[in-house]
Structure 1
Amino acid sequence: MKYFLLILLCICCALKSYSQNEKPNVIFIMCDDLNDYQGVFGGHPQAHTPNIDAMAAKGVQFLNAQSNAPVCQPSRNSLFTGVYPHDSNDFGWTKRTRQAVLKNNKTLIQLFKENGYYTLGSGKLLHGNHEPQSWDEWGMNTKHNYGPFAFDGENRVAHPKVPQPYQSIGPVDGSYGRLSTCDMWVYGWDGKPFRYTNDEDRDLMQDELHAQWATKKIKELEASENNQPFFMGVGFVNPHTPLHAPDRFFEMFPIDDLELAPWLASDAEDTYLKDNINPNNKGFRYYRMLMESYDGDRELALKHFLQAYLACVAFVDEQIGKVLNALENSRFKNNTIVIFTADHGWQMGEKNYLFKNSPWDESARVPMVIMAPEAKAGAKVEQPVSLVDIYPTLVEYCNLSGSNKLNNQAGELGGFSMLPLFDDNDNTIWRGPNGALTIVGNIGTKTTIREQHYSYRTRNWRYIRYANGKEELYNHKNDVHEWINLEDDPNYKMVKWSLYKEVCDIIGVKL
């Protein structure tokens, strides 16, 4: 009996050792232009996101996750290399493989591949070209995956029901509306006809195709006898403009019943973004054009845009649910880490701004949920983190060897592992900064670090410093909408100084 127990103990130890040494799989899900309009994040009370909400209940919700650059290209370049924009001087719309610093870095996908992972992906992950050398298998090749686009027989155009002058913005940013209310559609930039008769008789939209591809691949991997770990990236473009979805998603949000976010008419008066960028910047210009399109009726104008945005959020939530359900019904569910996030948020008219690429909460903040076998289910993390932290988190969680560099011209790994914030080991400690840093708005590759605009979010504060030295300070404990700029209040002089110093410490220069 004694020998039997000894043998049994050895077998159990061997099984435990095998389990601990088995590499976890990774599913990385990313949306585009998605702010906090999900039920669990509470950004809009009428948002319909049962799948994201369910994921948060099973995983860990990061309440203060931030984009490091709230516009597509530099945000994704930073995320997938782990390099801060201020360290790479990546401030514009430069493809990663052509950017002077980041072309010398390994993407996260490349590092997984080097560590024996099978890499497969589809959709909008890296901006533009998906860098085929990084992937063992790739899904759809459509550039950016935007659309479908309304079509007038010759050109892609904005939806004909969008009023002027907003419609004149064009087929991407100037278009929103139901699929049923336009006669002709085409797929993305490819120009292939998109067939729509009704919601039940139509071609699948591109995000639906990405979800279909991902669920199919999970089943194929499960059926395979190959136990090679995998990294799967799924990049959904919704709710990026143009804001089009099947009718049933629009019907979830009747115009007359919609609620607008709280708004302060004088909110923009004590802010300084308008003094630091061209007043015809998209965010300010789009807001003015939308108001003009509805004869200055702010409520009506924003309700039409908001309806389309919420419809696209509900639509993409359904696609995310398909991927999560496929994982849940597979043998991989107990050995897979899932990360869900977005490249940046979206400003819905607050401070007279309708776009991304602002220093404020609606644009800089992103939803983030991590679901992992060792994670504390249902936990809510208040410590601010940012997208640049994803790279080192996965390196530590998956025990990856190697660095994020191809050579000594590459940028340094800038983030910190978030594992101490979501694992079940109470002895692990977050080693990152007190807050999360966002760089904003100066599009241009020759703009120096000191000429940039910075936004810094801690648990209780948002501090903004512009290139001209102007500042904004918001106390999130009692001003969640960032309505009251406290920069001139002498009671907060030391708070402002402390936050300024933290920003300079992260950047490595005095502003």
Structure 2
Amino acid sequence: MNKIYFALLLIVFSVGVARADTAYEQMNVLFLVADDLNSWMLEDADRYAGKVIAPNLRKLAGSGVNFTRAYTAAPVCSPSRTAFFSGVAPWKSGIYNNAQIINESEALNQDAVLSLAGLFKKNGYDTFGYGKITHGWDQKEHWDEHVGHKRDPAPPGAPLAKLSGGEQDWGPIHLTEEQMNDTGGANKAIAVLEKQHDKPFFLAYGSFNPHMPWYVPQTYFEMYPLDQIVLPELKENDLDDLPPLAKAVSDGLGSFADKVIKSGKHKEAVQAYLATTTYVDTQFGRVLDALEKSPYKNNTMVVFLTDHGFHLGEKHHWQKTTLWEEGTHTLLMFRAPGVTKAGGVSQRFVSLMDIYPTLAELCGLTPPTTIDGRSLVPLLKAPNAPWESTAITGLCDKTKTDFAYISIRHELGRYTRYGAEEEEFYDTTKDPHEWTNQIDNPKYATSVKKLRGLIPGFEDAAQPLPSALTKERRETQKEKKKK
């Protein structure tokens, strides 16, 4: 009787193992993205690296390859996400700002264009998306389940900082952590990891935070005492050597950044940003812990990224939408079982555009011919392997759509072109803050010439598409002409 029982037990165990093994036939993907999270926790941000409380993201960075010089294709939410999720760069799509009319982009309307979720859906994956993943452009039919992001309601008495209404505010939220929307998105991602899957899955979770306003529980503010806050280094005459279009990008003197600084609330603002960063780290940590406890931990690759950088007063600017280091530098981490080794650090200059071809190669999928970027697999295997920079970023003026601004971050420094004639160049090895524009310094003429040749030419870059506002203006003008 005992032998029969043992035999039945063995059969049940074998069937259970076989079912579990089916989950390991093809790699799953856990795709994590944070909004407006800058690069302060990186080692090269030495004034902040040890002060940002983000144990979960640091643990993830140490478990695979951490790209310390990763850059966005556009320093704005919608164009950045449209670019890395479609694989089509802004200088081909014409999408550089949030207000532009995406459905007018010929490059994005090609039949061959396939969203990252669509690539996996087409190849037999179940696809799940929760929170802020895309923004404006999405092929919604490629998700098996998709729940977009919501902003948490403003606390009673908002604005709490008393400097501005709307987004530009911060303070303790009136909700419990469990009631917050980013927490709810994490809960949904965790539920997917707790289910049994018969097919491989592509699971994406995106946090709205630390996008402004910074409303998180008081507990997170208390982690950062005001007397221990370190402020960004600022230069009073930082805008003096900029060309006119660059000065316009900065928002200039009298901007919200200056308002924060002159009001004496700069430390409070930085505290709120750090508090929200730690809240976000907690939510990603919960999802990563769920993966570790699941049967998919050894068969799931993880990628974490931030959609762009964030200014907190540098160059008289607040938030994003610039082509300087603060606006363009992002976080990017990969952990791919069987490919990456723990503790990998790559200082090669890479782009968020490289994510699409990287995931395709890692999962053995054929990406569409429309994608830009290059697979990072060589750097995942050998983080310091030879690599030609792909870190190009595009932007356009918020009120004009005449031409694009393009910047490249490279071993030689940073070169930026505003339209056809205005330029910047920074020797970032000597000037990491990008305080001194060396564009007219003959010492750098050779470097500038090389970098000019590496970015899309003024005539080649796609003209920014019109915004809804400018389209309305055009229609109004047409009506006036008719009259």
TM-score of Structure 1 vs Structure 2, range by shorter chain: 0.7 to 0.9
Structure 1 residue aligned with 2:472: none
Residue 503 of structure 1: CA displacement? 1.4
Q: How does 1:214-229 map to 2 (within 5 A)?
A: 214-220=189-195, 224=196, 226-229=197-200
- Whole-Å separation in 2 of the counterparts to 1:128 and 1:505: 27
User: Alignment partner for residue 108 of structure 2, among 102, 110, 118?
Assistant: 102
Aligned equivalents of 2:30, 2:458: Cα separation in 1: 30
User: Where does residue 49 of structure 1 map in the other structure?
Assistant: 54
**Residue 439, structure 1, aligned to residue 447, structure 2:** no
| Partner Cα separation in structure 2 for residue 205 and residue 286 of structure 1 | 36
Q: Say which SS state the counterpart of residue 256 (structure 2) adopts.
A: helix
Q: What secondary structure does 1:368 align onto?
A: strand
1:414 aligns with 2:368: no
Distance 1:55 1:203, change over 3 A: closer
Structure 1 window deviating more from structure 2 (262-271 vs 81-90): it is 262-271
Residue identity matched to 1:204: Q
**Alignment CA distance shift 1:160-1:245 (3 Å):** same
Gaps of 5+ in 1: 1-14, 153-158, 181-195, 405-411
Give the letter for the 1:422 counterpart. Answer: L
The answer as to 2:379 corresponding to 1:379 is: no
1:333 equivalent in structure 2: 297
Is the partner of 1:331 in helix, strand or coil?
A: coil
1:463 corresponds to 2:463: no
Is contact 2:41–2:52 with CA below 8 Å preserved after alignment? Answer: yes
Mapping of residues 135-154 of structure 1, within 5 Å: 135-138=143-146, 140-141=147-148, 144-150=149-155
Which residue matches 2:38?
Answer: 35
Shift of 1:288: 2.5
Matches within 5 A, 1:44-443: 44-45=48-49, 46-92=51-97, 93-94=99-100, 96=102, 99-104=105-110, 105-128=113-136, 131-138=139-146, 140-141=147-148, 144-150=149-155, 159-163=158-162, 166-167=163-164, 170-172=165-167, 174-180=168-174, 196=175, 199=176, 204-220=179-195, 224=196, 226-272=197-243, 275-276=244-245, 279=248, 284=251, 288-292=255-259, 296-297=262-263, 300-373=264-337, 374-401=339-366, 403=368, 412-423=370-381, 430=387, 433-443=388-398
The runs of 5 or more residues in structure 2 that have no matched partner are 1-17, 464-483
Q: Deviations over 1:62-103 (max 9, x none)?
A: 111111110011111111111111111223334655543213
SS at match of 1:78: helix
- Matched residues in 2 for 1:227 and 1:133: separation? 21
Deviations 1:330-354 (A, max 9, x none): 2211111111001111111111111
Judged with a 3 Å threshold, the aligned counterparts in structure 2 of structure 1 residues 160 and 502 are, in CA distance, closer, same or farther, namely closer
Q: Displacement, 1:434?
A: 2.7
Q: Could you tell me whether the CA contact under 8 Å between 1:286 and 1:354 is conserved in 2? A: no
Q: Deviations over 1:450-478 (max 9, x none)?
A: x2111100134111111151221112222
| Cα deviation, residue 242, structure 1 | 1.0
Tell me which residue corresponds to 1:6: none
Q: Is the 8 A contact 2:350 2:391 kept in 1?
A: yes
Q: Please state how far the C-alpha of 1:271 moved relative to its aligned partner.
A: 2.1
Tell me how far 1:313 sits from its aligned partner: 0.4
Q: Secondary structure at the match of 2:194?
A: helix
Give the equivalent residue in structure 1 for 2:427: 475
1:489 matched residue in structure 2: 441
Note if contact 2:171-2:216 (Cα within 8 Å) is conserved in structure 1: yes
- Paired with 1:497 and 1:37, the residues of 2 have a C-alpha distance of 31
Contact (CA 8 Å) 2:414, 2:425: kept in 1 or not? yes
SS in 1 for 2:208: coil
- Provide the C-alpha distance between the structure 2 equivalents of 1:40 and 1:490, rounded to a whole number of angstroms: 32
Identical amino acids, percent of aligned pairs: 33
Does the CA contact (< 8 Å) of 2:404 and 2:462 recur in 1? no
What SS is found at the alignment partner of 1:339?
A: strand
Answer whether contact 2:78 2:137 (CA < 8 A) is retained: no
**CA contact under 8 A between 1:73 and 1:95: conserved in structure 2?**
no
1:290-347: CA deviation from partner (whole Å, max 9, x where unpaired): 53466x25xx332121111111101000001011111111221111111100111111
Shift of 1:441: 3.1
Q: What TM-score, normalized to structure 2? A: 0.83
2:436 and 2:459 map into 1 onto residues whose CA distance is 26
Please give the root-mean-square deviation of Cα atoms over the aligned residues, in Å.
Answer: 2.9
TM-score, normalised via structure 1 length: 0.79
Q: Aligned in 2, Cα 1:482/1:392: closer, same or farther, shift over 3 Å? A: same
> 1:218-252 CA distances to partner (integer Å, 9 max, x unpaired)?
011xxx2x431110010111100111100011111
Label 1:315 to 1:472 Cα distance change in 2 as closer, same or farther (>3 A): same
What is the aligned length? Answer: 438
Amino acid at match of 1:308: A
Distance 2:354 2:87 in 1: 7
Q: Is the 8 A contact 2:357 2:367 kept in 1?
A: no
| Cα distance in 2 for residues equivalent to 1:368 and 1:90 | 22
Shift of 1:151: 5.4
- SS of the residue corresponding to residue 268 of structure 1 reads coil
CA distance in 2, matches of 1:425, 1:203: 38
